[in-house]
Amino acid sequence: MLTDYLIVSGVLFALGVAGVAMRRNILVMLMSVEMCLNAANLTVVALQRYMPPHPESVSPYGAQVMTLFVIALAAAEVAVGLALIVALFRVKRSTSVEQLSELKA
Amino acid sequence: MEDFNRILFWVFSTLMLGSGALAITRAHLVNAAMFFIQVILCMAGLFLLLDAQFLALIQVLVYAGSVVVLFLFVIMLLDQREESKRVTTGGMLAGGITFASLTALLGTIVLQHAKTNPDAALPAGGSVGLRDVVRTLFTHYLLPFEMTALVLLAAMVGIVVLSRKR
C-alpha cells in the first residue's frame, strides 16, 4: 500500500514539473509548483503512516506537523508570487514568460 | 474495511491525477484553477485515508479556501491575452518528455525500494486525534511554529510593499 501511495505522489510530482515545462503562462506555472509541493506532502504523510517510528523520535506525529508547516509556507509563497505577478503585469501587460526575455543576449 | 479503503484510494488517486493532467493542459485559466481545486480536494481525501484528519482539514481550509481563491482573483483581475493562454506543440512535447522521464525515474526508485524492503507490518494506526497532533505542535515544535508566524508576517509586509502604487 505504501508503494501505491509513493507512486501516485511521484506521478503527481511529474505532472507538476511537466506543467512548468509545458506552459508559458506564469500563473499556470505557479499552480504546477503547488502541485509538486502537494505531492511531497503526500509522500511524507504516507511514510509516516506506513513506517514504524524511529526509536529516538520525540513524537510519531512530527511528520504531520512538518506537513502543516509546508502548507503554511506554500500559502505565503503563493501570496508573494501572485503579488510579484501583479507587479510584473503592471509593467509588461502580459503573463506570458516569453515577454520576459531582457536578460537573453 | 481494508478493501473499502483500497477502493477509495484508487478513486481519489485516479481523480486527482486525471484532474492534475487537465489542470496543466487547459487553455482557459479559470478551468485550470477549477481542476486544481479538484486535485486539492482529492489530496484531502487521501490524507483522510492516511489517518491525517487534521491535515485534511487544513488542506481544504488553506488550499481550497484561500490559495485557489487568491489564484482566481488574480486570474480575473489580469486581462489575459490570447497568446499567453495557448498551449504550443513544442510545449506539449517538452511537457510530455519531462513527464515520461520523471515518472519512469521515480517509479523505478519506488519499485526498487519496494523490492528490497517488502511491506512492513502496518504499525497500529488507530485514529489519530486532533489532540495528539496539536500537542506535538505546541510542545516539540513550538519554535518552528513561531518562526512560521514570523515568515507569514514578513510575507504580508512584502506583499504590501510589492503592490504599492509608485
Segment A14-36 shows an average pLDDT of 91
pLDDT at A60: 78
Could you report the per-residue pLDDT of B98-121, keeping only the tens digit for each?
888 988 888 888 888 887 776 655
Interface touch B54/A64, C-beta < 8 Å: yes
Could you report the per-residue pLDDT of A46-98, keeping only the tens digit for each?
988 887 777 777 777 888 899 999 999 999 999 999 999 998 888 888 778 87
**Would you say residue B83 has pLDDT above 70?**
no
Segment B122-144 shows an average pLDDT of 77
**Would you say residue B125 has pLDDT above 60?**
no
Write down the domain spans for chain A: 2-99
Grid coordinates belonging to B23: 489542470
ipTM for this prediction = 0.90
Buried/exposed B102-122: b ≥16 CB within 10 Å, e otherwise: bbeebbeebeeeeeeeeeeee
pLDDT at A31: 92
The full 3-state SS of B54-88, as one line of letters, equals: HHHHHHHHHHHHHHHHHHHHHHHHCCCCHHHHCCC
Interface touch B92/A49, C-beta < 8 Å: no
As a dihedral over the C-alpha atoms of residue B67, residue B72, residue B78, residue B82, rounded to 10 degrees, the angle is 120
For the domain made up of A2-99, the CATH class stated in words is mainly alpha
Which residues are CB-contacts of B13 (< 8 A; sequence separation ≥ 6)?
A: A4, A8, B42, B46
Query: CA–CA separation, B86 vs B48, rounded Å?
Result: 36
- In this prediction the pTM is 0.90
Q: Among A20-24, B81-85, B120-124, which range has the highest average pLDDT?
A: A20-24
Mutate to test the interface with B, among A5, A11, A33, A96 (most CBs of B within 10 A): A11
Lowest mean pLDDT among A92-101, B60-69, B76-85, B138-147: B76-85
Mutate to test the interface with A, among B31, B36, B41, B50 (most CBs of A within 10 A): B50
Find the residue in A nearest to B131 (Cα).
Answer: A61
pLDDT at B87: 73
Q: Which residue has the higher pLDDT, B163 or B158?
A: B158
The Cα of B11 is separated from the nearest Cα of chain A by a number of Å equal to 12
Write down the domain spans for chain B: 1-107, 129-166
Grid coordinates belonging to A64: 504531520
**Would you say residue A39 has pLDDT above 90?**
yes
- Split at pLDDT 50, 70, 90, the class of A103 is confident
Question: Cell 515544535, residue?
Answer: B141
Interface touch A86/B74, C-beta < 8 Å: yes
**Would you say residue B1 has pLDDT above 80?**
no
Is the minimum CB–CB distance between A52 and chain B shorter than 8 Å?
yes
Residue length of chain B: 166
**Helical packing angle, A26-50 and B29-49, nearest 10°:** 10
Q: What are phi and psi of A25, to 5 degrees?
A: -95, 125
Cβ-Cβ contacts under 8 Å, B95 against chain A: 18-19, 21-23
Could you report the per-residue pLDDT of B23-68, keeping only the tens digit for each?
988 888 888 999 999 999 999 999 999 888 889 999 999 998 899 9
- Split at pLDDT 50, 70, 90, the class of B126 is low
Q: 3.40.50.2300, 1.20.120.1200, 2.60.120.10, 3.40.50.150: which CATH number matches B1-107?
A: 1.20.120.1200
Interface touch B133/A65, C-beta < 8 Å: yes
pLDDT at A63: 87
Closest CA to B55 of B136, B110, B123, B156: B136
Q: What are phi and psi of A96, to 5 degrees?
A: -90, 135
Which residues are CB-contacts of A6 (< 8 A; sequence separation ≥ 6)?
A: A43, A46, B110, B113
Please spell the DSSP secondary structure of B103-153, one letter per residue. Answer: HHHHHHHHHHHHHHSPPPPPP------HHHHHHHHHHTTHHHHHHHHHHHH
Please spell the DSSP secondary structure of B7-32, one letter per residue. Answer: HHHHHHHHHHHHHHHHHHH-SSHHHH
Query: CA–CA separation, A99 vs B80, rounded Å?
Result: 13
